[in-house]
Amino acid sequence: MYKFITIALIIYGVYYVWRAYLNMKNLKKNMDDNPKELLIGYDAQINGLRRQLAETNEIIARDQGFPPSFSVNRRLKKSKRQQEKLMQRIKQKEAARSNYLKLLRSYQDGEIDKVALKKWVNENQRR
């Protein structure tokens, strides 16, 4: 039993290190080949989230014009929760974009910002 647990932990450790290594390798390749590609991806994600936020704001504004009822109040609560989640995701994507920009600048200067690199790797391992 202990051998099985030990082997499983070793396999997981190797997988974790290998995944981090591949993330770093892909990041270096992207920074060398086409550094703006990830920025364009971040911008597209942020714009999509802002579009969803605008639609949610329209729904909230429309529902606030109706007289209060159970279904209207439920839709308002749901829309406001969705609005908060979208705002949080937008902030996270903007922080990830600025972190990537910081990492890209330091890489182009010839030195790596280790704090930004660690944040980027941790963020991409959660996917």
pLDDT, residue 111, reads 80
**The overall pTM is greater than 0.85:** no
pLDDT value of position 19: 85
**What span, in angstroms and rounded, lies between the C-alpha atoms of 124 and 113?**
17
* Domains in the chain, number: 1
Ranges in the chain, pLDDT < 70? 125-127
For residue 38, give its domain range: 1-126
> What pLDDT score was predicted for residue 84?
96
| Cα–Cα distance measured from residue 83 to residue 76, given in angstroms and rounded to the nearest whole number | 10
pLDDT for the residue 33: 84
